[in-house]
Amino acid sequence: MAKVMGIVKAVCTSGARGVQKRNINTASLKVGWGIEGDAHGGDWHRQVSLISYDKIKEFNEGGAGVSHGDFGENLVVEGIDFSALPVGSRLECGDCALELTQIGKECHTHCQIYHKMGDCIMPREGVFAQVIRDGTISTGDVMRLVEGSAQGLRAGVLVLSDKGARGEREDETGPLITRMLEEAGYIVAEQKILPDDRSAIEAELINLSDKRRVDLILTSGGTGFSPGDITPEATIAVAERMAPGIAEAMRAHSLQITGRAMLSRGVAVIRAGTLIINLPGSPKAASECLGFVLPHLGHGIEVLRGDAGDCAVGNEDER
């Protein structure tokens, strides 16, 4: 396989959010922040934004007249199609290193470029990354993709609780689920508490599956009979396909422990390349359900990713 590499064409920063960036040619990258002096730096997953020089050049052929930094991007690189890379890919440039955390972004308010051209490529072509090794980056530097860097399974954990979101209840379930996933070899890209708000839940499920592109999303809470328990409805709303066997298996397992397991309305679905599973809200129930299905999820996710054969081929006990 040929090595993927490109040339840095611009290093752009801005002192405030919401304004176009300008090319400063050289900048320092810091772990836990991003680019020193840039307003988008911080302890979050979108520290550094990147876009392909080739995509900008193609866009400008339509008369856009876009300059480096106009999309709000930090790094412009020729020769790498960032939007085609999987999340988790690592990029090295000189002595610094980045890890891709998100592909594309939602455009809440259209920029000047969109109003001029009727289109903007940043929402679909731009990517975001975290700094994983300090260093200096300059125009003319060679950037390389680290081969095989995005092979691990990535997961997101969403705890759904009004009291938890308000800080009125300590969350024990989220850390427990995260620990179980990490012990099973997953990379937990996001652990978050959300209120029982259907639109917010749907938006985060879409973000994690479509932008963060995690392989597995586990939700906890909101699967009962209370009027505010709307997690299954939010999950079904974003689904492309159902995966009923997983939820059925968890209920069957839980029924051996308590008859109240029949009251769980949790579902399991597929959205593009992401498997989404609703777990109960209590730490004990969530641990019991996840512990039962977790050993079998890896194969399903590999099939979903196209990395393994169909379940019907092979061991009869695993059909």
> pLDDT category, 319, cuts 50, 70, 90?
very low
Q: Burial of 276 by CB count in 10 Å (0-12 exposed, 13-18 middle, 19+ buried)?
A: buried
Task: Pull the structure tokens for residue 24.
Answer: 């400063």
Nearest by Cα to 234 from 246, 222, 243: 222
pTM of the model: 0.83
- pLDDT on residue 317: 45
Instruction: Report, as an integer, the average pLDDT of 210-224.
Output: 96
Mean pLDDT of the chain: 91
Query: How far apart are alpha carbons 254 and 24 in whole angstroms?
Result: 59
36-40, 57-61, 170-174: segment of lowest average pLDDT: 57-61
Query: How far apart are alpha carbons 251 and 255 in whole angstroms?
Result: 6
pLDDT in tens, 119-162: 788 888 999 999 999 999 999 999 999 987 767 899 999 999 99
- pLDDT on residue 314: 47
Task: Pull the structure tokens for residue 13.
Answer: 């920063």
18-22, 201-205, 230-234: segment of lowest average pLDDT: 18-22
Nearest by Cα to 77 from 155, 153, 5: 5
Query: How far apart are alpha carbons 219 and 25 in whole angstroms?
Result: 43
Judged against a pLDDT cut of 70, whether residue 2 lies above it is answered with no
CA angle 265, 267, 270 (to 5 degrees): 165
- pLDDT on residue 12: 97
Judged against a pLDDT cut of 60, whether residue 224 lies above it is answered with yes
Q: What superfamily does domain 154-305 belong to in CATH?
A: MoaB/Mog-like domain (3.40.980.10)
Q: Edge-to-edge, what's the strand order for the sheet holding 135-138?
A: 34-35, 26-30, 135-138
Which CATH number, 2.30.30.100, 2.40.33.20, 3.50.50.60, 3.40.630.10, labels domain 5-146? 2.40.33.20
- pLDDT on residue 1: 45
- pLDDT on residue 197: 97
- pLDDT on residue 212: 94
Judged against a pLDDT cut of 80, whether residue 307 lies above it is answered with no
Judged against a pLDDT cut of 90, whether residue 114 lies above it is answered with no
What are the residue ranges spanned by the domains of the chain?
5-146, 154-305
pLDDT in tens, 67-86: 999 888 999 999 999 999 99
Judged against a pLDDT cut of 60, whether residue 216 lies above it is answered with yes
pLDDT in tens, 36-47: 999 999 999 999
Distant-in-sequence contacts of 255-260, Cβ < 8 A, 24+ apart: 257/288
Instruction: Report, as an integer, the average pLDDT of 32-37.
Output: 96
